[in-house]
Amino acid sequence: MKFRLLLISLLAFGGFKSFSQSGAGNNLASVENQFEGMSDSARFEKVTAYCDSLVDQHKYTEALTGTVYLMQIARRFSDRSFIGRAYLATAYLEKSQNKSSEAITQYQKAYEEFIAAGNFRKQVRVLQMIAGIYLDLNDLKLSEYYCQRALVIIDKNNLQSLKTSIYTDLATIEDIRKNYNKALQYNSDAIRIAKENNLIYLETLLNRCIILKNAGEYQKSADSYLECLKQARAQKESFVEGIVYVNLPNTLLALNRVAEAETYINKALDWAKSIQAGLNVMVSIYETITMINEKKGDYKQALFSQKRWYAYRDSILNEEKSRQLIETETQFQTREKQQQIQQLDEDNRSKKKQLWWLAAGVSILLILLVVELLQYRKIQSVNRQLNHTNLTLGKANQQISMQSGQLKQLMQELHHRVKNNLAIISSLLYLQANRLDDKKAVQAVLDGQQRVEAMSLIHQQLYQTDNVTRVGMQEYISDLVKGLMQSFHYQEKLDLTLQVEDISLDVELAVPLGLIINELVTNVFKHAFNQVQQPGLIIRLWHTDHLFLEVKDNGPGVDPETWKKAGQTFGKRLVISLVKQAGGALQVSSDQGARFLLTLPAVSENLPDFLAEVKE
């Protein structure tokens, strides 16, 4: 599956670059003019490539116009395969906009045309594309169904060479189901058929590498990757070579061959930069680099690479949000323009019919004069239409310029919705606890509810302020501790000391820090004050050359060595895991009570951007 994701992202980047500078308009007349003077067959091929390139560049409005024109050309041929190919272009447009249902409808129309044309190879191709959509939707049953239908056509029409790609898809389906033996059998059959028909099977070999890794056969997976790399170099398939560089390090890490993994991931990074790979590829590469640095114990570099990893991941999310906003703004305009295009097409056909009847009753000179007049009027009409379209585009550009402000509002709304969802989860946990009889189970559910509340407070603060990415820790810690005091009924009898500096942390750090505070304070309320007449709790957050968090009570204290031993409660394991995630260190001691001191990386000119912003 990882290979499939990388392949999609790279193809989305590449596209048909020969059209990227064409500057085509977004109406039917401009598309017709662009390909004027060509034969119908040459025009069909050029417009097909043109439409695909626009889809790859996310220019969906222009691509829609192109597919309408493509269908007009296709209907001029006696071979219905051309109409089927036009439906394929429309299906590709719908699929690229994540409109799976619409894409499947277009594929089914294409399938009917290929049946009428007797084109069995295209029938197999369409069924495979539909199976691919259901695979992306994780509907494995339907995906397998369409693959099996394709195999029936292949066997009936002796198209055995096509089985390679179908078996590769079936191997992927079984891999997802974790039926690794069956997946490997499909893969072996695919490779055998490819060899028998002298076909290139690098993608199938890559599929085998991934299945072996998922099956835990790391050494076999590594050997297969190296064989694939050897073949890719021999065949000068630099794209497949780059994909191997991206995926092989994960298998090597499983074999604890860290140095080799680092060598290949560096090659992957160089390759990705050389082709300007998509964001998904960069996310995968920096995720692997982070794991390698953690294996090496180089936590500083791991923190740096993790930051790059998150930055690319956030860019993907932001890019998707921006695309959805633009599509929403232009959807209505697109429908109007399409109606205008269809009306203009009807007008053109009507005028041609009128011209034909007039030509039958007048002299050659009169025919020429009428033709000139009609052509002049047509040009005027087209010019007026172009002017109207330009005005419409100008308004659309003004609306798009307003979206930067709207994006901030959407982020605040997003945090608001997340907070509301977390509140719903908290309520559900509370209701579930009331239905349980086992006290330990009740307590576990209530503990989970408190953790959800701790995260909910962060999103509540984010949507109530102008800063939608940083959390003011002074207000957040105060609200969190007061909520816990209320939950454990310590509002009146607790001597609380809060010394929290006015520090703003990125949400990536604020969440684990809040959960750590929640676990430590909850532990204090549960265990520290059973025999204490006047409970006291001190919570401090400050910075010097490092960021420090201290939680101290006046209870009986803890044994540091016992506290750190493995096999402890979930809360302790959660604290240890969160401390490691934040890149910090936790000291446990007893000084007239239990004292927990968390130290995080330096708060100075070396402070990572995501860690903190200290108000002077």
Name the pLDDT band for 561 (thresholds 50, 70, 90). confident
Lowest average pLDDT, out of 95-104, 196-205, 232-241, 359-368, goes to 359-368
Of residues 546 and 11, more confidence is placed in 546
pLDDT of residue 423: 64
Alpha helices, DSSP H, located in 435-558: 439-464, 473-487, 507-527
Query: Where does 14-118 sit in CATH, by number?
Result: 1.25.40
What's the one-letter identity of residue 458?
I
Rama region for 98: left / alpha / beta (φ>0; ψ in -120 to 50; rest): left
Quote the pLDDT of residue 6: 45
Bridge partners of residue 505, in order along the sequence:
471, 612
Write down the pLDDT at residue 339. 64
pLDDT tens column, 127-149: 999 999 999 899 999 999 999 99
Torsions phi, psi for 495 (to 5 deg): -90, 95
Give me the residue spans of the domains in the chain.
14-118, 278-401, 404-468, 489-616
Contact 183, 171 (CB under 8 A): yes
Compare 438 and 587 and report the one with higher pLDDT.
Answer: 587
Which tens digit of pLDDT belongs to each residue from 410-438?
Answer: 555 555 666 566 667 866 666 666 667 77
Q: pTM of the entire structure?
A: 0.49
Ramachandran bin of 156, using left for φ above 0, alpha for ψ from -120 to 50, beta for the remaining angles: alpha
Tell me, what's the pLDDT at 426?
A: 63
Give residue 604's pLDDT.
Answer: 39
For 325-356, how does the pLDDT look when each residue is reduced to its tens digit (9 = 90+)?
A: 545 554 455 455 556 656 766 776 777 777 77
285, 272 in Cβ contact below 8 A?
yes
pLDDT at res. 491: 74
Do 345 and 322 meet the contact criterion of CB atoms below 8 Å apart? no
pLDDT averaged over the chain?
A: 80
- More confident site: 79 or 369: 79
Q: Which CATH superfamily is domain 489-616 in?
A: Histidine kinase-like ATPase, C-terminal domain (3.30.565.10)
pLDDT band (50, 70, 90) for residue 174: very high
With 80 as the cut, is the pLDDT of residue 13 above it?
A: no
User: For residue 61, what are the contacts with CB-CB under 8 A and spacing of at least 6?
Assistant: 26, 330, 333, 334, 337
Residues 442-488 pLDDT 10s: 666 766 766 776 666 676 656 566 666 788 888 889 888 888 888 88
Q: What is the pLDDT of residues 81-125, one digit of tens each?
A: 999 999 999 999 999 898 999 999 999 999 999 999 999 999 999
pLDDT above 90 as % of the chain: 30
Confidence class for position 321, pLDDT limits 50, 70, 90: low
Closest by CA position to 282, among listed 301, 268, 263: 268
Looking at the predicted structure, is the pLDDT value of residue 180 above 90?
A: yes
* Residue 58, Ramachandran bin (φ over 0: left; ψ between -120 and 50: alpha; else beta): left
